[in-house]
Amino acid sequence: MSNTNNAYLKYTRFVLFFVFVVIAAGGIVRMTQSGMGCPDWPRCFGSWIPPTNASQLPADYEKYLRQQDIDHEFNAVHTWTEYINRLLGAILGFLFIIHTIWSARKFFSTRPSIFWMSFLMLVATGVQAWLGKRIVDANLAVVKVTTHMLVALVIAIIPVVILRRLQNIHPVENKGTKWLAILTLLLLLVQIVIGTEVREQIDEVSRALHYEQRELWINRLDFFFTLHKTCAWIATACCVGLFWRSLPYKVLSAIGGWIFVVVLTTLVLGLSMLYLNVPAIAQPLHLICSSLLFVLVYALILRLK
């Protein structure tokens, strides 16, 4: 493989890594209840650089604060947490622009599918930015938050497809394992969708309790949480099965090992939220691990036929 190909692959891996940085940032925004820290979009309190204290607020600042259901007064931590999240999203957009231009120059005439996948990442990032505006406009409406998460997963799997197509790896023919992997991927997708609903309920419960009395949060959740717990055990069993079935194959065993580690980590984080009164740090970590697990299972599917 040429040096330019190696550089392109390394950059694609870096882009994939940065996608998870942005997902982590979104999780921290939710963890800190900073989603409306900037109650307008794309600006923040009417400015491109948000204020650091109340004295820097615009004259009409009250119309922005009325959009918030958390602070009702200026909170610099919430504002800058959300603003940094937006900056990271913008940086990711620039990384995708570079990736698309590089893909066009390198593959447009020889392997156009690589270029179009790169271009799709760029378009999906634009859609994600638009959804971000819609979420702010709708004050964190759960349906839009769920769609935001699903688009993030689409963005995350595209670099995996590009890497798979450029790597000289012969797929393993194992129909049973492939069908198990597809079933697992669907279960994980359902889990992520249900998880966003559970997360929205936690937001509502915590808001009603003024973000205190964490020991009461779980008990106030409805059947979606029970469904989430049940599906979690089924998905975990499927992931362990994938790990076991991947062991005889060198091409699959590394990804299978990561699936095993990440699914156990995700399970432990979920149990910590259940039995340790929803520790704040567990929330973004659970989100990251769930997203990573989805991408890993998808990567495994790409190595099967």
Convert the pLDDT of each residue in 21-44 to its tens digit.
998 888 888 777 777 778 777 788
pLDDT at 142: 47
Tell me, yes or no, whether 141 and 35 share the same domain: yes
Domain termination residue (choose one: 130, 151, 168): 168
pLDDT at 63: 67
Q: Residue 44: beta bridge partners?
A: 47
Taking only the tens place, the pLDDT of each residue in 99-155 is 999 999 999 999 999 999 999 999 988 888 777 666 665 554 445 567 778 888 999
Least confident of 71-75, 191-195, 217-221: 71-75
pLDDT at 136: 60
Tell me, yes or no, whether 164 and 181 share the same domain: no
Q: Report whether pLDDT(264) > 60.
A: yes
Taking only the tens place, the pLDDT of each residue in 46-105 is 888 888 887 887 777 676 666 655 556 778 888 899 899 889 988 999 999 999 999 999
pLDDT at 295: 96
Taking only the tens place, the pLDDT of each residue in 150-179 is 888 999 999 999 999 988 788 899 999 999
Tell me, yes or no, whether 64 and 116 share the same domain: yes
Tell me, yes or no, whether 3 and 151 share the same domain: yes
pLDDT at 289: 93
Query: Which residue pairs, CB below 8 angstroms and at least 24 apart, start in 117-121?
Result: 117/158, 117/161, 117/162, 118/158, 118/162, 120/158, 121/15, 121/96, 121/155, 121/158, 121/159
Residues 6 or more apart whose CB falls under 8 angstroms from that of 149 comprise 192, 196
Residues 6 or more apart whose CB falls under 8 angstroms from that of 204 comprise none
Question: How many domains would you assign to the chain?
Answer: 2
Q: Domain residues for 80?
A: 1-168
SS3 of residue 210 by DSSP? coil
Tell me, yes or no, whether 191 and 49 share the same domain: no
Q: Read off the pLDDT of each residue in 230-257 and give the average, rounded to a whole number.
A: 94
Tell me, yes or no, whether 102 and 2 share the same domain: yes
